[in-house]
Every structure is written in structure tokens, then in C-alpha cells.
């Protein structure tokens, strides 16, 4: 969840007064904060999304030690699947391979025509973002939409297929999420009986900690993964991956 990227300097979306929605409300002329990620608003005023895409473009932010921990589990062949609600692509930056990653809300890694869904070249999108100009397909003059999931749109098919893999896991680690929005509210319950569930978060969520084999590490994600790494004897390896 969003709690794994805030230490990278990225604002979360909804925190009152400081989240991306709220801090940009005046400058982006939004009718309400969440409007920036509604298709109907995007069609009439796409610039806020392009501003967001520019601010999250690869290279703007450095992955956190939590991202490094995810990468380390993959390097040790222990990562079955990484589900992320985030659209910042920082999992890619630490080398998590695409087949190990399910981006439930999409990402800014690609973009396509909002109507015919034809892929738009990444180099051209980057030029438009840096110039502050409007990307459009010349042939159909339709808007180019980043491949992120807007409010009201269905989650990727891969998410629902991958969710079944949670039932196969021996250990399910959830980090930086309130586990309150669909479909993640059901995520903790997907773990099979006997599987260990670990939540690293600033507050309790998802009923984690209420049964044997269910652990809540209260605090920030970076602090939590360092604690796990210490218990596992991975501290030096974790710092090496992060650096």
C-alpha cells in the first residue's frame, strides 16, 4: 500500500491537507479531490493526470528499503507474488520481475488511446510530459490515457487470477495499507488456515494479530522490514540491495 512509498518522498493520495489529492486541489481546479482519477473528468480536463504522471515519472524518486526487502525476497526465490496498489513503478526500479508483480491499479509504465486502446510510444509520452504539452493520437485525435485504473474501472484480470495464489502461500506479508478498500479488504481472509499473516503498518488493519500465526508490527514499513531482516539474518544483504 501507500505506506511503503511515503519515505521515498511521494505523497500518499488521500491524507487530509498533505495527500496528492488535497495538496493539488487548488492548483488543479478539481471539483473534488478524487475527480483527478475519474474518466469523465479526464476527458474534459486531462492535464491533472498528466501532471501526476510527470511527478511520478521513473527517475524522480528512489526506492525505499521496503522496496529493497521485496526485491531481496525475490532474489532468494521466496517471493511467490507481489501485489501492489501503487502506481509509482518503484517495484520495477528494484528489479522485481514483471511475472512476479501484480499492479492492481496499473502504473504509468505505459499509456494508450482512451477509446481504441492502441499503445502510445513511451518516448513520445515522455517528451509531452516534460514539455507540458498534450499527447494525442494524430489519426483519431483522441486523448492518451496512462495505463492506471481510474475510479469505476475494473481491476486487471491478472489481479483476480493472482489472488488465488494467496491461498497457496505459507507466509503473507501486508505492508503500508489500511486494507479497507475493495478488493483488498478481503485480502487477509484469502490466506489459508495455518499460513502466517504479517501486517507492517502504523495502525491495526484487516483483523491481523487476532489469531495464532497472525502478527502486527506497529510502525513504519522501513522500520518493520529492517526488524524482519534482523530476525532472519538478512541485514547486510538488505542494505546491499538497497544501496
To the query of whether residue 80 is one of the catalytic residues in this protein, the response is no
Instruction: Look at residues 129, 138, 130, 136 and name the one whose alpha carbon lies nearest to residue 43.
Output: 136
CA distance 242 to 225: 12
Q: Which residues contact 38 (CB under 8 A, 6 or more apart)?
A: 150, 151, 152
CB atoms within 10 A of CB 106: 17
Instruction: Look at residues 193, 195, 242, 229 and name the one whose alpha carbon lies nearest to residue 215.
Output: 195
Judged on CB neighbours under 10 Å (0-12, 13-18, 19+), 42 is buried
Among 57, 80, 92, 105, the active-site one is: 105
Which residue numbers are catalytic? 105
Amino acid at each position: 500500500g501507500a505506506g511503503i512509498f511515503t519515505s521515498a518522498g511521494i505523497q500518499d493520495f488521500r491524507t487530509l491537507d498533505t495527500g496528492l489529492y488535497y495538496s493539488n486541489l487548488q492548483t488543479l481546479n478539481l471539483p473534488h479531490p478524487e475527480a483527478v482519477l475519474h474518466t469523465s473528468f479526464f476527458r474534459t480536463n486531462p492535464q491533472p493526470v498528466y501532471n501526476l504522471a510527470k511527478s511520478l515519472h521513473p527517475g524522480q524518486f528512489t526506492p525505499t528499503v521496503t522496496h529493497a526487502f521485496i526485491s531481496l525476497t525475490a532474489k532468494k526465490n521466496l517471493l511467490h507474488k507481489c501485489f501492489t496498489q501503487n502506481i509509482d513503478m518503484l517495484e520495477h526500479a528494484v528489479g522485481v520481475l514483471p511475472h512476479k508483480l501484480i499492479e492492481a491499479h496499473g502504473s504509468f509504465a505505459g499509456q494508450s488511446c482512451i477509446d481504441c486502446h492502441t499503445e502510445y510510444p513511451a518516448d513520445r509520452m515522455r517528451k509531452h510530459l516534460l514539455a507540458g504539452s498534450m499527447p494525442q493520437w494524430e489519426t483519431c485525435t483522441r486523448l492518451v490515457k496512462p495505463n492506471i485504473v481510474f475510479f469505476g474501472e475494473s481491476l486487471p484480470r491478472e489481479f483476480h487470477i493472482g489472488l488465488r495464489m494467496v491461498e497457496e502461500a505459507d507466509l503473507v506479508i501486508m505492508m503500508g495499507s489500511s486494507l479497507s478498500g475493495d478488493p483488498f479488504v478481503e485480502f487477509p481472509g484469502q490466506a489459508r488456515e495455518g499460513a502466517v499473516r504479517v501486517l507492517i503498518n502504523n495502525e491495526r488493519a484487516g483483523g491481523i494479530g487476532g489469531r495464532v500465526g497472525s502478527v502486527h508490527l506497529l510502525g513504519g514499513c522501513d522500520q518493520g522490514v529492517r526488524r524482519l531482516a534482523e530476525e532472519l539474518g538478512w541485514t547486510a544483504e538488505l542494505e546491499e540491495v538497497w544501496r
